[in-house]
Amino acid sequence: MLSPDILRKALVVAYFCEHSSKRKKLDDLRKKMGESTFQKVLNLLEKLSVIEYPAEYPTISKNFPKGVPYPGTNYIAVRFIFFPSWVQSYMHQLRELKTLLKKLRVTIKIVREVREEVSKLDTKYRTQLRAQVEAINSWRAEDKKVIEHLLNPGFRGKIKFSESTRFWENANW
């Protein structure tokens, strides 16, 4: 079973796997967590397909013998947690996202905690999150409920955006 502590650590590590500019923080996290916990977190993220390792030309180093990790198929959960307004880009994958969040046992409390921790490590994140919140505040009430439903493990109904949001998103595909 996945403990909330390991989940929090895994989500913070995953956040810093997205861009090469952020990956510099991975060594700091490794030192802070300890080698054993850090490897456990990386293995968990890989098992869940949240991160992957390059198949060809990996950047291999002493710290990353498999190569430097980067976002995998299920990284959408990490993007949703840290950049919630992006969920509109994943409107065709809401069921899969809900299943993954439920499997990981992501709660609103954990989301708040990992956002706070990341904002301490990444000085730009708080500004980015503020922009996300402002974008969400401009949404229709029906669309805002999508985020609530995704983070509510007890919600059993259909998760969907408003008809007009789906129309405009599909028009942009």
- 169 vs 163: CA distance, rounded Å: 10
Predicted pLDDT of residue 15: 93
Instruction: Give the structural domain span for 102.
Output: 4-171
Looking at the structure of the chain, the number of domains it has is 1
Predicted pLDDT of residue 129: 94
- 123 vs 143: CA distance, rounded Å: 29
Predicted pLDDT of residue 72: 86
- 158 vs 106: CA distance, rounded Å: 19
Neighbouring CB atoms inside 10 A of 10's CB total 23
pLDDT digits (tens, 9 = 90+) for 79-110: 999 999 888 888 888 889 999 999 999 999 99
The residue ranges of the chain whose pLDDT is under 70 are: 1, 55-65, 67, 166-173
Predicted pLDDT of residue 55: 67
